[in-house]
Amino acid sequence: MPGDSTGNFNLLHRTCKLVVLLCFLHISVTVVFYVRSLDIRFAFVQNQQSHNTSTQPNRDRSTALPPRTEPKQADPKKEVAGLQESAAPQAEKKLEKCPETSPLLVGPLRVEFNIPVSLEQIKKDNPSVRPGGRFRPADCEALQKVAIIIPFRKRDEHLKFWLHYLHPVLQRQQLDYGVYVINQEGDATFNRAKLLNVGYAEALKDYDYGCFVFSDVDLIPMDDRNTYRCFSQPRHLSVSMDKFGFRLPYNQYFGGVSSMSQEHFLKINGFPNNYWGWGGEDDDIYNRLASKGMSISRPSGDVGKCRMIRHDRDKKNEPNPQRFDRIAHTRETMHKDGINSLTYRVVSAEKFDLFTKISVDVGKP
Ligand code: BGC
């Protein structure tokens, strides 16, 4: 009937209007809530950003090395301060101190030299190493600032193996460290100990290191528990070398890899500058330490195992015939020959991705 259908139509019409109204209301409420949630999210992001800029140390500032200045003279205040702990640059972001023994250590390592390594690959494998071969742990404050000094001339292949093996080890040891390759320019007879003195002086221009590790370029530790840091006494780290059948060649042996705090180093007036050619300079260093009443600290034979990369004797590094005479007189000469009489000329100083290379003219015999 026409009356009924009009009534039905009106009812349908009203119902539809109600549904449309409800939909509109629903959409409005949804839009209001969505806009409000956007506001909150935006405010949160802004808050996060301002928090980050105020609490995180400025990466550039903290990673950049301080400007190089003239070599520092022995600082008597530091002499009594002993091992320096990492402090100032990390003050902004207060981290807890790293533990005495790093939890990242894995123990014995496989060390082989039959497959060549490339600097590009080493760089890729160690993304946290900063220009100049610098590193410090991200999540704790390193206990020591360690400069690793490598006397060098024409041993690029050995250096690659050293970087390949040592960067991962040193990072696992949770050290705040830098690698300094001290390259003797020219063809004069090699002078290992003088290059080590130069490394000490040059590294201090970069950072306030408190510990110095002196390492030959061809020596690789076979256990990462052999920590490249300083101890209360000067440390000999390469105690069981494959070259010597994994044992000490003699009790006073102090060659290969050793470490010393700044206090130890200054007490003995650094190293001798007049040992030209192979041999004797490490014995002289041992004599200096003994004459100042210091003893040698060493890791166990197991932990102190290391491999030497086999090589022919370098040209211009023949055994030094004067070494026996010089060693016999360390106690008389050490006060006038050492870090206090060091002279050299820096030819170039470059920061590579994995190490800092300082080329120097150290003169000739
Ligand atoms: C030399 C040292 C050398 C040691 C082991 C000694 O005769 O004087 O300089 O490190 O032999 O080769």
Q: Is the Cβ–Cβ distance between 98 and 141 less than 8 Å? A: yes
Does residue 226 form part of some domain?
A: yes
What does 18-60 look like in DSSP terms, one character per residue? HHHHHHHHHHHHHHHHHHHHHHHHHHHHHHHHHHHHHHS--HH
Q: At what angle do helices 281-291 and 192-206 cross, to 10 degrees?
A: 70
pLDDT digits (tens, 9 = 90+) for 270-320: 999 999 999 999 999 999 999 999 999 999 999 999 999 998 888 999 999
pLDDT band at 15 (very low <50, low <70, confident <90, very high): confident
Tell me the β-bridge partners of 349. Answer: 358
Q: Is 313 a catalytic residue?
A: yes
Q: Would you state the structure tokens that stand for residue 359, as one six-digit string?
A: 């080329």
Does residue 15 form part of some domain?
A: no
Does residue 326 form part of some domain?
A: no
Does residue 222 form part of some domain?
A: yes
Annotated catalytic residue: which of 85, 308, 318, 353? 308
Domain that holds residue 174: 127-312+343-361
Does residue 121 form part of some domain?
A: no
Tell me the β-bridge partners of 176. Answer: 145
Does residue 317 form part of some domain?
A: no
Annotated catalytic residue: which of 202, 224, 282, 337? 282
The overall longest dimension of the chain from CA atoms, in Å, is 134
pLDDT digits (tens, 9 = 90+) for 251-281: 999 999 999 999 999 999 999 999 999 999 9
Is the distance from the beta carbon of residue 277 to the nearest atom of ligand 1 less than 6 Å? no
Counting the structural domains of the chain, the total is 1
Does residue 54 form part of some domain?
A: no
pLDDT digits (tens, 9 = 90+) for 75-131: 333 332 334 444 445 556 789 999 999 999 999 999 999 999 999 999 999 999 999
Cα(280) to ligand 1 centroid in Å equals 6
Is the distance from the beta carbon of residue 272 to the nearest atom of ligand 1 less than 6 Å? no
Q: Is the Cβ–Cβ distance between 230 and 259 less than 8 Å? A: yes
Ligand 1 atom with the smallest distance to the CA of 282 is: 9
d(C-alpha 270, C-alpha 195), whole Å? 11
Ligand 1 atom with the smallest distance to the CA of 256 is: 10
d(C-alpha 329, C-alpha 172), whole Å? 41
Task: Give alpha helix (H) positions in the chain.
Answer: 2-55, 59-63, 76-81, 119-125, 156-172, 192-206, 262-267, 281-291, 323-327, 330-333
Cα(341) to ligand 1 centroid in Å equals 24
Annotated catalytic residue: which of 61, 96, 313, 332? 313
Which SS3 state, helix, strand or coil, does residue 179 take?
strand
Does residue 355 form part of some domain?
A: yes
List the residue whose alpha carbon is closest to atom 3 of ligand 1: 279
Q: What is the CATH number of the domain that holds 160?
A: 3.90.550.10
Q: What is the DSSP letter of 365?
A: -
What does 281-324 look like in DSSP terms, one character per residue? HHHHHHHHHHHTT---B---TTTTEEEE---PPPTT--B-TTHH
Q: Is 314 a catalytic residue?
A: no
Annotated catalytic residue: which of 216, 223, 283, 284? 216
